Amino acid sequence: MCTRAKRRRLEDNSLQLPDELLVLIFARLDHTELYQNVRLVCKRWFLLASTPTLWTRIAADPATPTGTVCRWIRTSRLLNQVRFRGRNDANALVDHAARYSSNLRLIDVKNCWGTASSDVIRGRGLCRLLERCPKLERMTFEGVKIKSCKFFRLIGARPATNRRATETDSGYRFSYDGPMSGKQLTFLVDAVLSNRRPFVLMLDGNNGRKVTMDNERSEVTFECGARI
């Protein structure tokens, strides 16, 4: 944390630098540094540290408080990528992303719990994320638990329903590595087979624990069994 004297020296030195150069310098810092230190130096730095282009991507590890990450999501109007690692508040963060980040293109969640008392990531927030983020094209969930059948049904149908994104972008990709019930698998496969857009669905041989979907190819493959 900056002391008052250090802040004054930083402010005096920064007066010689144009705003554009300071923003380039700030872009090399992580968001925790920007939020906890840089923006507290002076009013000018506060405004520059809030430049929307500095907040298009957010990565949050367990050390960053839930309220801070939620505030980042809520105030970053150009946010298009979020990555969460080893956290126990995934439900709150997914809900916030669904509510405030309509431009989201990528979400990457690894080794996270829904809450401090539950390892399940709530399906309601995940479904809302799919419904409210039409540009979302990359989803990765690894070392997590999702019990929602509706979520997997929406995932299977998404390449057909999300035409604006899939027709203009490089493709849609979904990856899930975690427990999966037979009912969830049925919902996913039924939605995939009724989809008219090209894609690949791959399931590994470990009881369907790992699922990868990709609409950039023109066939459907089940690695653990029959070919369709």
In this prediction the pTM is 0.77
Is residue 228 domain-resident?
no
Mean pLDDT of 8-18: 62
User: Could you tell me which residues are beta bridge partners of residue 106?
Assistant: 81, 138
Same-domain status, 67 and 153: yes
Is residue 210 domain-resident?
yes
pLDDT at 149: 94
pLDDT at 141: 93
Same-domain status, 41 and 63: no
One-letter amino acid for residue 20 of the chain: E
Is residue 165 domain-resident?
yes
Same-domain status, 71 and 12: no
- Cβ–Cβ < 8 Å for 117, 141: no
Domain end call among 55, 81, 101: 55
| CB-neighbour burial class of residue 53 (10 A; exposed 0-12, middle 13-18, buried 19+) | exposed
Least confident of 66-80, 109-123, 147-161, 172-186: 147-161
pLDDT at 1: 54
Same-domain status, 30 and 91: no
Same-domain status, 80 and 108: yes
Q: What is the CATH number of the domain that holds 10?
A: 1.20.1280.50
pLDDT at 171: 62
Domain end call among 35, 55, 75: 55
Rounded CA-CA distance 40/38 in Å is 5
Is residue 112 domain-resident?
yes
**Distance of alpha carbon 24 from the chain centroid:** 24
Mean pLDDT of 49-77: 91
How many domains does the chain divide into? Answer: 2
Is residue 194 domain-resident?
yes
Same-domain status, 111 and 198: yes
Same-domain status, 152 and 100: yes
Same-domain status, 60 and 158: yes
In which domain, by residue range, is 6 found?
1-55
Same-domain status, 210 and 154: yes
Same-domain status, 102 and 163: yes
